[in-house]
Amino acid sequence: MDIKMLDLHYKAFPIYAWYTRPEIIKGVVVLVHGFGEHSSRYLDDVVPRLLEENLVVYGYDNIGHGKSGGKRGHCPNYSALLELLDNIIAKTILLNPNKPIFLYGHSMGGNLVLNHALRIKSDLAGIVATSPYLKLAFQPPKWKMTLGKAMLQIFPSLTMSSGLNPQHISRIGQEVEKYIEDSLVHDKVSPMYSFPIMEAGEWAINNAHKLNTPTLLLHGTGDKIIDYRGTQRLHKNSSKTELHLIEDGYHELHKDVGSKGTMDLIALWLRNRINDFYGQI
Q: Among candidates 136, 175, 164, which has minimal Cα distance to 257? A: 175
At 261, the amino acid letter reads G
pLDDT tens digits for 212-268?
Answer: 999 999 999 999 999 999 999 999 999 999 999 999 999 999 999 999 999 999 999
Task: Give the whole-angstrom CA distance, residue 33 versus residue 259.
Answer: 17
- Using CA atoms, how far residue 258 sits from 33, 66, 263, in Å, is 20, 27, 9
Q: Per-residue pLDDT for 67 more than 90?
A: yes
4-279 under CATH 3.90.1150.10, yes or no? no
Task: Give the whole-angstrom CA distance, residue 70 versus residue 48.
Answer: 29
CB 69 within 8 A of CB 13: yes
CB 42 within 8 A of CB 31: yes
Q: What percent of the chain has pLDDT over 70?
A: 93
pLDDT value at position 119?
A: 96
Give the chain's length: 281
Q: Where are the domains of the chain?
A: 4-279
CB 263 within 8 A of CB 49: yes
**Burial letters for 225-261: b for 16+ Cβ neighbours within 10 Å, e otherwise?**
bbbbebbbbbbebbebbebbbbeebbbbbbbbbebee
Task: Give the whole-angstrom CA distance, residue 124 versus residue 129.
Answer: 14
Q: Which of 107-111, 152-156, 229-233 has the lowest mean pLDDT?
A: 152-156
Mean pLDDT, the chain, rounded, equals 93
pLDDT tens digits for 50-63?
Answer: 999 999 999 999 99
Q: Per-residue pLDDT for 148 more than 60?
A: no
- Using CA atoms, how far residue 126 sits from 12, 129, 132, 195, 239, in Å, is 31, 10, 15, 27, 14
pTM of the full structure: 0.95
pLDDT value at position 142?
A: 65
| 29: Cα separation from own chain's centroid | 12
